[in-house]
């Protein structure tokens, strides 16, 4: 990926978010105890008389509204209560004026379109309300707790639960009182016979009363009370899910609850019937696209009051606003967004996936092999690979950050800018190249991303003529900020949004992930109607239909470039999507996160600019690329740099001014708190400075973060603060693992465990530079010692490619005649290893389980043929290493010709094999080392078996190649019966040969591949149909 055309193209879908600020108020400067409090009280009285302000504040924070009412009623809580209250109200109003992020009635959303005549936002907006998730969830809990109601509901086993030992493990919710604190990830229940029977019987939806009867028949000794209690506990623990709980794709959850109650035949329960009637009335009264005038706001208040009579709660409604007249933007702004998204990808520190996912990919290939299909439940279990490092529930912690050249370049640039008293780094093409990590020609762009941005321009006319700056405010993948407000869009706009998730590949099924978030309150922002053709429900009750893909029908697969998800029943690729922007590390269930991230696990990581090791610096300059600000400047304001809380206002303001002058801080900034909560401030305004002082005093951190933002003049063209969001798609579509038939993964029961397995595997920790000595001078004696007890043997080398500091191992494998030979064979291995340790060649070794790979096929005859191929390739590699050491010819040149020989005999004809190899090994630019190239081409000028016999020591190598040719042909015959993917097989064979004959270095492997490609091209150019 170079500096030419953008990688991303906009989809024509644009959402806008804009403040609904009605204006016409003055913010109070009296925010400290020494100020004139009567002035502040008078201001608050006048403010609270305005219905639109009172309503918006009440929706945003009922507790704050109640405090205001108490204060104005004369029930003050002390001399400091009013200044604190004024500060809080002022912060809410500043947020309303200066931020476009939707929050109750403070900001609205709408779909908009590109226009040659950009226009500002209008003032009118509409209200849409639904029950707050906490209120509705509590109501459902109470109904499910009622035995008479519960028995008339349908239940189904929670598909997100799993068995671990003798326990049933069920995901749990975060605490609502402390959602950011660490809490249990799951709940464990004893998997007794009755529990297992209940879960098995509820694998499909069943009436709870019918389930109770089934258990009574099976466990006749158990009383009806015992069975009722057990089922009630399973429902309370969410091991059994009732149909009363609306799935997250239900845009109208209250209607779902009302309909379920009405269909549950509850006529003999008058209290519940009356509740259902009242809920139906609430549903009818809820505002839906109601004009935000005094009458609409009054209806909202009346409905909330009625809801509190049904179930008391502080917050009962979740309210959204829709813009009646959204602003429009020019096409060139979207072109700039394409360029910005491409620049963000070019700046990625992880062009081939995050470290956690790169490690996971390599572990998959090492454990299961390329092309294997591992059921999702199996791979995330403790007996599989679990979750990637650092995730919730993962066995491994994050690897420490390794300082990179990108880090040092950024640190140098930041220091230069800071020393010059500036606050901007202009990103030029040479500078982008300096910051590039890895070979971007090999990078796979994520296929769908989103970009959020503001446009800064003084007027619509200036914007129309291209006088604007685009400020990036968000970059999402794989989540989606666009789906959050899909219920507010018109049906055509919803359809256009849904099309952005549709794949270009007809073999791929787009599937929306539908699941309850770990924190119940977050259901307010994760409820999204179904936007894709298929659905993957996790941990929720869903009616089964042809659009639902069961979790047990999903398997993980991978090739050497990427990972993917496969539907086992059809072999189709599945592309799961998160339709919302729920935080993934703590608030998203790890299973949902796993499915969402998996297809792009090895793609370039897309997101906001990551400054790496520089993120803790006191000042980070703005990063600008053309007309785009990719990352605004930001500063860490230490509490110690300002005077203590006891200092008077003038002294504190002076200290702040001194700090601003030292670090060149502009007036308009955002205060970043608790993750990404932002409070826009004008540091030239006394009231805003007082707010900053109060926040600094109450901060638990040693500093606060300030980030530059636009001034009112920057938003003059739109007349209010706006933010735009557009989905973009990669062009051409990103690489996907091939959907061709592939082998099913061997069951874990087929793993050969140390002690009794039919395969003895030993991982030998050997210095990489001494590995050839061990292989060529010492391994033959071990093979001879075990010859009577083994059918086949092979070796490979491995390490963790994403960790340059990881150990490198030689792995020796021996297929034993019988499992009964394991102990004696292991003893002989120990006898062989002991002298190697004594002479300093072997550090240690481990007897490890051997997991058959699904890459080469799973039929017994195919496995036997594949292992015979491994054996002959290992013998060939040993001969090549020995020959290289005696002749001085480069081992890479010999390995390159050897790889070409494998392709020529795996294909139906040598010519097809050459073309296959040149297609599989992508062209890599740059000059080849002439000595290596000449050596490889010379060896391939004629049949190397003839060529080798004329060279010193070449007869033994020719014999090894001949035996391997026979093994390749034998495996090829079996491969056709097993439907193993040919591309995956050839790529794996080439990689394994390089590991055996050269080593684990990926740079050396790319060079060898280039040599092999050159040899194949030479043979094609000469028109020679013979194998080299």
- Contacts for 61-67 with beta carbons within 8 Å, 24 or more apart? 61/92, 62/314, 62/315, 63/314, 64/88, 64/89, 64/92
Whole-Å CA distances, 145 to 158, 223, 233, 267, 374: 18, 20, 9, 18, 39
Q: 742 φ, ψ to 5°?
A: -135, 165
> Could you give the angle at the alpha carbon of 595 between the alpha carbons of 590 and 600, nearest 5°?
115
Residues 154-186 have pLDDT tens digits of 999 999 999 999 999 999 988 765 555 556 789
Q: Give the 3-state secondary structure of residue 338.
A: helix
Residues 310-369 have pLDDT tens digits of 999 999 999 999 999 999 999 999 999 999 999 999 999 999 999 999 999 999 998 888
CB atoms within 10 A of CB 142: 12
Tally of CA atoms within 13 A in the half-sphere of 837 that contains its CB: 11
- Predicted confidence at residue 643, as pLDDT, reads 63
Residues 39-60 have pLDDT tens digits of 888 889 989 999 889 999 999 9
The structure's pTM equals: 0.92
Q: 854 φ, ψ to 5°?
A: -85, -5
- Predicted confidence at residue 324, as pLDDT, reads 92
Whole-Å CA distances, 502 to 114, 397, 715, 745: 22, 35, 34, 29
> Is 646 a residue whose pLDDT tops 70?
no
Burial 543-580 (b: 16+ CB within 10 A, else e): eeeeeebebebbbbbbbbbbbbbbbeeeebbbbbbbbb
Q: How far apart are CA 187 and CA 182, in angstroms?
A: 14
Residues 431-485 have pLDDT tens digits of 999 999 998 988 999 999 999 999 999 999 999 999 999 999 999 998 899 999 9
Asked if 855 and 980 count as a contact pair (C-beta separation under 8 A), the reply is yes
Residues 836-875 have pLDDT tens digits of 999 999 999 999 999 888 788 888 899 999 999 999 999 9
Residues 226-242 have pLDDT tens digits of 999 999 999 999 999 99
Asked if 202 and 155 count as a contact pair (C-beta separation under 8 A), the reply is yes
Q: Which domains does the chain have, with CATH numbers?
A: 131-323 (no CATH), 612-716 (no CATH), 753-851 (3.30.70.100), 857-1028 (no CATH)
Asked if 22 and 52 count as a contact pair (C-beta separation under 8 A), the reply is yes
Confidence of residue 741 (pLDDT cuts 50, 70, 90): very low
> Is 504 a residue whose pLDDT tops 90?
no
Least confident of 99-103, 643-647, 967-971: 643-647
Residues 277-307 have pLDDT tens digits of 999 999 999 877 787 787 888 888 889 999 9
Q: Dump the DSSP string for 176-196.
A: SSSTTS---SEEEEE--HHHH
Least confident of 21-25, 190-194, 444-448, 651-655: 21-25
| SS3 sequence of 383-407 | CCCCCCCCCCCCCCCCCCCCCCHHH
């Amino acid at each position: 990926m170079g500096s030419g055309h953008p990688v991303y193209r906009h989809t024509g879908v644009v959402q806008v978010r804009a403040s609904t600020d009605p204006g016409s108020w003055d913010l109070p400067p009296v925010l400290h105890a020494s100020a004139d409090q009567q002035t502040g009280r008078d201001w608050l009285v006048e403010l609270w008389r305005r219905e639109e302000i009172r309503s918006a504040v009440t929706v945003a924070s009922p507790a704050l509204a109640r405090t205001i009412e108490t204060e104005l009623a004369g029930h003050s809580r002390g001399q400091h209560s009013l200044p604190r209250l004024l500060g809080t109200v002022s912060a809410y109003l500043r947020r309303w004026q200066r931020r476009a992020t939707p929050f109750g009635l403070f900001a609205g959303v709408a779909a908009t379109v590109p226009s040659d005549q950009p226009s500002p936002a209008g003032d009118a907006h509409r209200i849409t309300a639904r029950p707050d998730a906490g209120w509705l969830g509590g109501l459902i809990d109470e109904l499910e707790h009622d035995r008479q109601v519960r028995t008339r509901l349908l239940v189904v086993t929670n598909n997100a639960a799993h068995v671990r030992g003798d326990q049933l493990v069920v995901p749990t919710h975060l605490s609502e009182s402390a959602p950011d604190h660490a809490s249990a990830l799951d709940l464990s229940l004893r998997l007794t016979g009755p529990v297992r029977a209940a879960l098995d019987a509820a694998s499909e939806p069943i009436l709870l009363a019918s389930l109770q009867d089934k258990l009574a028949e099976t466990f006749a000794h158990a009383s009806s009370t015992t069975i009722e209690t057990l089922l009630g506990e399973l429902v309370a623990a969410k091991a059994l899910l009732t149909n009363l709980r609306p799935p997250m794709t239900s845009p109208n959850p209250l209607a779902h609850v009302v309909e379920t109650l009405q269909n549950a035949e509850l006529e003999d329960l008058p209290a519940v019937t009356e509740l259902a009637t009242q809920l139906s009335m609430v549903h009818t009264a809820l505002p839906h696209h109601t004009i935000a005038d005094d009458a609409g706001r009054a209806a909202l208040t009346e409905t909330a009051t009625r809801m509190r009579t049904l179930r008391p709660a502080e917050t009962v409604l979740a309210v959204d606003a829709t813009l009646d007249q959204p602003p429009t933007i020019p096409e060139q702004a979207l072109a700039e967004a394409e360029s910005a998204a491409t620049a963000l990808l070019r700046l990625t520190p992880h062009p081939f996936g995050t470290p956690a996912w790169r490690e996971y990919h390599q572990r998959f290939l090492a454990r299961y092999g390329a092309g294997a299909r591992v059921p999702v439940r199996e791979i995330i279990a403790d007996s599989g690979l679990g979750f990637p490092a650092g995730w919730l529930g993962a066995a491994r912690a994050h690897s420490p950050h390794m300082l990179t050249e990108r880090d040092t370049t950024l640190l140098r640039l930041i220091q230069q800018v800071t020393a010059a008293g500036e606050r901007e780094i202009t990103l030029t093409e040479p500078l982008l190249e300096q910051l590039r990590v890895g070979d971007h020609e090999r990078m796979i762009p994520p296929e769908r991303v989103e970009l959020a941005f503001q446009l800064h321009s003084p007027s619509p006319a200036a914007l129309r003529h291209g006088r604007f700056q685009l400020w990036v405010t968000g970059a999402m993948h794989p989540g989606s900020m666009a789906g959050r407000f899909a219920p507010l869009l018109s049906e055509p706009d919803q359809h256009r949004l849904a099309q952005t998730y549709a794949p270009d590949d007809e073999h791929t099924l787009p599937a929306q992930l539908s699941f309850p978030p770990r924190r119940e309150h977050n259901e307010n922002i994760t409820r999204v109607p179904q936007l894709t053709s298929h659905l993957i429900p996790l941990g929720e009750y869903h009616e089964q239909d042809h659009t639902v893909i069961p979790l047990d029908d999903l398997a993980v697969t991978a090739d050497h470039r990427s990972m993917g998800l496969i539907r086992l029943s059809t072999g189709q690729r599945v592309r799961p999507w998160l339709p919302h922007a729920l935080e993934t590390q703590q608030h998203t269930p790890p299973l949902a996160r796993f499915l969402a991230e998996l297809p792009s696990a090895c793609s370039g990581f897309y997101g906001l600019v990551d400054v790496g090791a520089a993120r803790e610096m006191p000042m980070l300059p703005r990063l600008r690329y053309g007309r785009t600000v990719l990352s605004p400047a930001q500063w860490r304001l230490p509490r110690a740099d300002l005077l203590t809380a006891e200092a008077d206002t003038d002294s504190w303001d002076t200290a702040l001014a001194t700090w601003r002058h030292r670090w060149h801080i502009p007036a308009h900034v955002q205060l970043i708190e608790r993750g990404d909560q932002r409070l826009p401030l004008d540091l030239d305004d006394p009231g805003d400075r007082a707010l900053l002082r109060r926040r600094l005093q109450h901060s638990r951190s040693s500093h606060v973060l300030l980030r530059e933002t636009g001034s009112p003049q920057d938003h003059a063209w739109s007349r209010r603060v706006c933010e735009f969001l557009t989905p973009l798609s990669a062009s051409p579509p990103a690489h996907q693992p091939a959907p061709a038939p592939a082998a099913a993964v061997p069951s874990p029961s087929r793993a050969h465990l140390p002690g009794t397995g039919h395969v003895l595997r030993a991982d030998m920790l050997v210095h990489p530079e001494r590995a050839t000595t061990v292989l060529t001078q010492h391994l033959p004696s071990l093979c001879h010692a075990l010859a009577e007890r083994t059918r086949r043997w092979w070796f490979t080398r491995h390490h963790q490619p994403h960790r340059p500091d990881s150990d490198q191992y030689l792995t020796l494998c021996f297929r034993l005649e019988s499992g009964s030979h394991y102990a004696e064979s292991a003893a002989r291995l120990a006898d062989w290893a002991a002298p190697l340790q004594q002479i300093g060649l072997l550090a240690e070794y481990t007897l490890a389980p051997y997991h058959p790979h699904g890459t080469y096929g799973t039929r017994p005859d195919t496995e036997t043929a594949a292992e015979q191929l491994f054996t002959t390739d290992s013998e060939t590699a040993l001969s090549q290493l020995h020959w290289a050491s005696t002749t001085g010819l480069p081992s890479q040149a010999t390995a390159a010709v050897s790889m070409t020989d494998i392709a020529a005999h795996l294909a139906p004809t040598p010519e097809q094999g050459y073309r296959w190899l040149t297609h599989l090994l992508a062209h890599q630019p740059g000059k080849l080392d002439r000595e290596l190239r000449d050596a490889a081409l010379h060896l391939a000028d004629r049949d190397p078996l003839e060529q080798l016999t004329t060279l010193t020591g070449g007869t033994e190598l020719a014999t090894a190649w001949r035996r391997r040719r026979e093994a390749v042909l034998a495996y090829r015959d079996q491969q056709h019966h097993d439907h193993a993917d040919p591309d995956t097989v050839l790529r794996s064979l080439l990689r394994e040969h390089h590991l055996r004959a050269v080593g684990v270095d990926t740079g050396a492997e790319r060079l060898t591949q280039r040599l092999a490609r050159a040899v194949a091209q030479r043979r094609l150019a000469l028109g020679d149909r013979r194998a080299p």
